[in-house]
Amino acid sequence: MQWELETIGVTKRFGPVTANEGVDLRVKKGEVHAVMGENGAGKSTLMSMLYGLLQPDDGEILIAGRQVHFTSALDAIGHGLGMVHQAFQLFEELTVWENIVMGAEPARRGFLDRRRAIASVAGLAERYDLKVDVTQRVRDLSVGIRQRVEILKALYRDAQILILDEPTAVLTPQERDGLFAVIRALRDDGRTILFVTHKLHEVMEITDSVTVLRQGRVTERMATKESTPEAIITAMTGRSVSLDVAKGPATPGEIVLQVAGLTVGQGPKPAVADVSITVRAGEIVGIAGVAGNGQSELIEAIAGLRPGSGRVTLKGRDIASLRVAERREAGLAYIPEDRAATGTAAGATAAETLLMGRQGDAALSRGGLLNLPAISERARRLIAQNDIRISSERAKVGTLSGGNLQKVVIARELDHEAPLLIAEQPTRGVDVGAIEAIHARIVAERDAGRAVLLVSAEMSEVLGLSDRILVMYEGRILAELPASEATEAQLGLLMAGRTGEAA
Amino acid sequence: MERLKSLRPGPVPLAILSGLVIGALMLLVSGDNPLVAYREIVEGAFAPRNWRNTLSWAIPLVGMSLAAAIPLRGGMVNLGGDGQIVIGGFVAAVVPIYLADAVPLPGFLLAAIAILCAMLASGLWAALAALGETRLGIPMLISSLLLSYPAIGLTSWATGFPLRDTSTGLTQTRPVPPGAELPELFGPVTMGLVLLTIVVAAVIYVDRRTVPGYELRMRGLNRRFAEYGGVRTERQALGAMFASGAIAGLVGAIVVLEVHHRFQNGALVSPSYTWSGLMAALLAGGNPARAVLAGFFFAALQTGGFAMQREIQVPRVLSMVLQAIIILFVSLRYGVGGGRGPKDRP
Amino acid sequence: MNMLNAYTVNATIGGMTPILLAALAGVLCGRVAVFNIALEGKILIGAFFAIVGSYFTGSALGGVLCGVLATMLFSTILAYGVTRFRGDSIVLCIGMNLLASGLTAYLLRQIFGQAGVFSDPAIAEVDRIVIPAINTIPWLGWIFSRQTPITYLSWLLVIVVAIVLFRTPLGLRMRGIGQNPEAATTLGIDVGRTRRWTVIAAGALCGLAGAQLSIGTVGIFAEGMSAGRGWIAVVAVMLARDNPIWAAAVCLLFAIADTFSVQLQAQGLPNQLTDAVPYVITLVALVIGALRGRRRRMAPV
């Protein structure tokens, strides 16, 4: 059988870490082929090699039966590959057509041929029913439209094999349906789609066959209609896991956090518009929403990292005018969404990283002088208690894996034993095993009587952990519902801003 | 594997070696013997009879290294050392001259007041650049540098016209009143050296043992992390720049009160203490203790350069060239040896 | 304002040329997101090697070519430093500025046996082009006649840079690299190579700037003769937000301010004060620019 795309024994190592080992991938022409796996299973590395961004240490890549060696993305594009990255690779200040023709510009006598560029891009968009205004600047576009621009970029280069890397992560369910329609149209046009995802129901819905990766190796390869969700899960995780969180009913107590009329940003469409939230001791309030609907801004305003107008009270005390350090002291712990960019500093030691935010504590410093023995002592204790895999408290945290680094952040923030815990995307990019542990700790915090405000883009996480759910859409709280009554379908509609249909 | 790695020369020794090799090539091209030239540098700096020279050159240079290292520790760059050192020197000369006219004070008190005023004035001038960044968003890199020009212009004008010592042909102020000079204590040890040593010790202590030192280091590693942890980064920028400027002011005051005993136009700028100090701080990656060492190393290189020029007529600016080459190699450190950055991983 | 005579205006326009060329270099680098603050050192290298070339070839053209080539070569430090070696551009540029001042002083002694200033009848200066038709017309002739070819070229280059940036595939790629280098990589654009050549081309512009400064204006080389012009160019680039036309406008503004300071000097103000005027004006421009920018940011979108 002639495969459209085939890899034989592809292996890639990063120092001591093996990201892919002996991967055999076989994709038929004109099919939608799912590449599944947990975070860190090696999907991104494999796709980067297929797209020429990385070179395999071993093994072969074949396209239509012919072996290829890509040294750059340009090679891959030349062989008919196209890729839509999970994080969009767009130029915000440029127009749609400029984004699309970049690198393959129509030119006349050395100058850009704008008219021809615009016409061909618009024609392409029309052909696949991708509604886009090609002269708009990308910074003015919504996430769904941006994804169309990405797809057009690949089609403009006449991609026969299109790699979609976690394409639905940032979409509302309705935008996702639109994407699936486009995928079907492309398949019917004879193009081959590689659909990289870790979402099971999407695999079942749209793909023809599936290859499952675990720890860098292929563990399963089958036709979608012949497989079952259970089989795929087992192949992905090597064991049957339930993502349901074990927790008893909440016993909400006094009000810990009260946000009233909080607005962040100016103009007719502020990032956060007139938001009011109450979180009580002993409950987990989850904020659901597609990323970029004002959740980050809301949390940063509560933590004091971003100015906002409105009232924020913590255990009855007005903290709206307080600085970050004073808010932390008033009883706020905060697990930020990006542990590498915000939660840690790669060049700092574990002890220094674990100290941040507590450097003013009487136990750790006095009169501005650091109590170094106490700081080391505490760091050693936290490393041991939280099973952080690091050689010593004097080692730098930059070498830690994502899960271990997240443990550092969580250890530090939970050690604060603050009445309010804000957890923003606490399990993003963390292995399934670690996810369970983190969820259990958050529930334990709740059971210890703390108020937890959870923000997550993962619907299952919000549904599984929260006692109450708030849905955020375009900077507003669109709805509030008890977790026990919420369903994925209903939440999906709310996240898309459709209150009427969800009711 | 671990042991092999630790045996490899670190980036700084490698950079120094590269600088010396390139310098040797330059000397060969111009027909000089590099070994002889380097021997002259070493002797000129370290022969016992030259210690005093080296030390007196090292005091301002090490001081300016420290001044540059403080903001660098927090990821900021102060390019305005020239303006700050000049203001410090100017204030340290003018204050005792006119204060002594107004009230009779003992010399040491005049000197103390002069030094404090110099530090305050230079510190405030430097903090102005930080204010430009925190309030207006003007990059401190640019504003600190641009602020030097009016500082140099104003002091130069004041020295040339209203405050000029008309009894000499030079553009300089009157000498400071007797007693206000900083004394030599014993051997090569001067009051300036003692003051500088105290400041060095204080800065290293603050860096390693105090909350502000910890917060500045964390800011240098990841500013967002520091802000997230409650560090008030705007106030911190003002503080770091004030400290940096104040040390530059102290350096200006020491040179004026200990060496020239008056403010001479251009005397603080032309030896390029600021830029050598900045290079030393860059070489040290902002670590204050290492900056002091690097500053001393550059001072030795430069004093040795004088000897080289005197003995074998090789221009002493060669030591500036060597310094610059060393810095360029240090800034390439991540690439040397084909090391792979974190970005190679998807 | 009777002091605004033909000579002053003419000299101001000619004196603006190095800053304008350096600013264009800064614009090019800024577009590909290389923060180039080595303009000062590059001008100095260009000025010195223009003198070297002029002295040894006896021709001004030889001097200009020598200055341009030397500065391009010097720029490879930054070009490779920020790409292949992933150095920090600020540290590299500080090192380059110091290397330039040390190296030119060293070579001045080693090649010409001089310290401080070098002047020699053997240095061929760049001829000025007199346009007889307008030469004596006030303003028009003052500005547009009796300038060096480098000055005319600099005006042309403003337009060339603008066209390249906004009307060619190369310019589109450069702008793309500046905004999102990773995205450009995924489209198969060689970011490193584009950056390298941009920095080296910018070096050529700085070389021209240096040549104008030494053999286009005074026919001498003095240590540190760039005297902060490169830094003013950096500010011009910042204020112009990497737009070549705006950068030219900002340079013109600085030139007018400079004329003003020459006026003050003619009125009897000491030169120690007037020398600082361009920098004070630059600072004031930065503050005004920042205040305006802030108001724009405050305004509702």
Q: CB contact, 8 Å: A44 with chain B?
A: yes
Q: CB contact, 8 Å: C186 with chain A?
A: yes
Residue B6 pLDDT > 60: no
Structure tokens given for A356: 């941040």
CA distance A145 to B15: 50
Average pLDDT over residues C177-188: 91
Q: Helix H segments across chain B?
A: 2-7, 11-29, 34-46, 51-73, 81-102, 107-131, 140-160, 191-209, 211-221, 223-228, 233-254, 273-283, 288-312, 318-331
Task: Give me the residues of chain A with pLDDT under 50, please.
Answer: 240-241
Nearest neighbour of B230 by CB, restricted to A325, A346, A352: A325
Nearest neighbour of C90 by CB, restricted to B141, B154, B341: B141
Spell out which residues of chain B touch residue C276, defining contact as CB-CB under 8 Å.
149-150, 152-154
Residue A111's DSSP bridge partners are A108
Residue C301: predicted pLDDT: 27
Q: Contact C119/C220 with Cβ under 8 angstroms?
A: yes
Report the gap between the CA of A375 and the closest CA in chain C (Å). Answer: 33
CA distance C158 to B61: 42
pLDDT in tens, C109-132: 999 999 899 999 999 999 999 888
* Angle at the Cα of A126 from the Cα atoms of A123 and A129, rounded to 5 degrees: 155
Residue B217 pLDDT > 70: yes
Across the interface, whether the CB atoms of A92 and C300 are under 8 A apart is answered no
- Reduce the DSSP state of residue A449 to 3 states and report it: coil
pLDDT in tens, B220-241: 999 999 999 999 999 999 999 9
Q: Contact B329/B280 with Cβ under 8 angstroms?
A: no
Across the interface, whether the CB atoms of A345 and B344 are under 8 A apart is answered no
Residue-wise over C231-244: b if at least 16 C-beta within 10 A, else e?
A: bbbbbbbbbbebbb
CA distance A97 to A116: 10
Across the interface, whether the CB atoms of A370 and B211 are under 8 A apart is answered yes
Angle between helical axes of B140-160 and B107-131 (0-180°, round to 10): 140
Residue A168: predicted pLDDT: 84
* Neighbours, chain B (3 or more CB pairs < 8 A): A, C
CA distance B19 to B12: 10
Q: Contact A195/A207 with Cβ under 8 angstroms?
A: yes
Confidence of residue B5 (pLDDT cuts 50, 70, 90): very low
Q: CB contact, 8 Å: C173 with chain A?
A: yes
Structure tokens given for C205: 């512009």
Cβ within 8 Å of residue A7, ≥6 positions away: A23, A24, A25, A46, A49, A50, A59, A60, A61, A62
Q: CB contact, 8 Å: C99 with chain B?
A: yes
Residue B94 pLDDT > 90: yes
Across the interface, whether the CB atoms of A328 and B230 are under 8 A apart is answered yes
Neighbours of A240 (CB within 10 A): 8
Across the interface, whether the CB atoms of C167 and A105 are under 8 A apart is answered no
pLDDT in tens, C38-77: 999 999 999 999 999 999 999 999 999 999 999 999 999 9
Nearest neighbour of A48 by CB, restricted to B211, B217, B346: B346
Mapping DSSP onto H, E and C, the string for B233-253 reads HHHHHHHHHHHHHHHHHHHHH
Reference A408, options A424, A419, A396, A417; nearest CA is A396
pLDDT in tens, B297-345: 999 999 999 999 999 999 999 999 999 999 999 887 643 333 333 333 3
Report the gap between the CA of A112 and the closest CA in chain C (Å). Answer: 5
Reference B268, options B139, B84, B145, B105; nearest CA is B84
CATH of A255-331+418-502, one of 3.30.70.1450, 3.90.380.10, 3.40.50.300, 3.40.190.10: 3.40.50.300
Q: Give residues 281 to 320 of B whose Cβ lies within 8 Å of C.
A: 282, 315, 317-318, 320
CA distance A32 to B327: 54
Q: Contact A100/A145 with Cβ under 8 angstroms?
A: no
Reference A211, options A25, A6, A3, A432; nearest CA is A25
The domain ranges of chain A are 5-237, 255-331+418-502
Nearest neighbour of B346 by CB, restricted to A54, A359, A368: A54
Q: Contact A291/A461 with Cβ under 8 angstroms?
A: no
Q: Helix H segments across A128-254?
A: 143-156, 173-188, 200-206, 229-237
Neighbours of B260 (CB within 10 A): 18
CA distance A354 to A380: 10
CA distance B20 to B30: 15
- Reduce the DSSP state of residue C19 to 3 states and report it: helix
Nearest neighbour of C176 by CB, restricted to A74, A94, A266: A94
Spell out which residues of chain C touch residue B146, defining contact as CB-CB under 8 Å.
231, 235, 279, 282-283, 286
Across the interface, whether the CB atoms of C95 and B331 are under 8 A apart is answered yes
Q: CB contact, 8 Å: C181 with chain A?
A: no
Residue B199: predicted pLDDT: 97
Across the interface, whether the CB atoms of A101 and C172 are under 8 A apart is answered yes
- On the CB side of C253, CA atoms within 13 Å amount to 19
- Reduce the DSSP state of residue A318 to 3 states and report it: strand
CATH number for the segment(s) B35-334: 1.10.3470
Residue A404: predicted pLDDT: 87
The domain ranges of chain B are 35-334
Structure tokens given for A59: 């093994």
What is the DSSP annotation of A137-153?
BGGGS-HHHHHHHHHHH
CA distance B331 to A319: 44
Phi, psi angle pair for A188, to nearest 5°: -65, -25
Distance of CA A389 to the CA centre of its chain: 24
Residue C3: predicted pLDDT: 53
Average pLDDT over residues B261-290: 93
Q: Which fold has domain A5-237?
A: Rossmann fold (3.40.50)
Residue C147's DSSP bridge partners are C129
Q: CB contact, 8 Å: A70 with chain C?
A: no
Residue C196 pLDDT > 90: yes
What is the DSSP annotation of C128-144?
PBP-TTTTTSTTHHHHH
pLDDT in tens, A119-145: 999 999 998 888 889 999 999 888 888
Top-confidence residue, C243 or A247: C243
CA distance C246 to A254: 59
Cβ within 8 Å of residue A500, ≥6 positions away: none
Spell out which residues of chain C touch residue A74, defining contact as CB-CB under 8 Å.
188-189
What percentage of residues in chain C have a pLDDT greater than 70? 96
How would you classify residue A13: left for phi > 0, otherwise alpha for psi between -120 and 50, otherwise beta?
A: beta
Across the interface, whether the CB atoms of C272 and B157 are under 8 A apart is answered yes
The domain ranges of chain C are 6-230
CA distance C256 to C208: 22
Longest dimension (CA), chain B: 72
Structure tokens given for B83: 């303006």
Structure tokens given for A83: 């890729």
Q: Give residues 231 to 290 of B whose Cβ lies within 8 Å of A.
A: 231-232
Segment (H or E) for C172: helix C169-179
Cβ within 8 Å of residue A381, ≥6 positions away: none
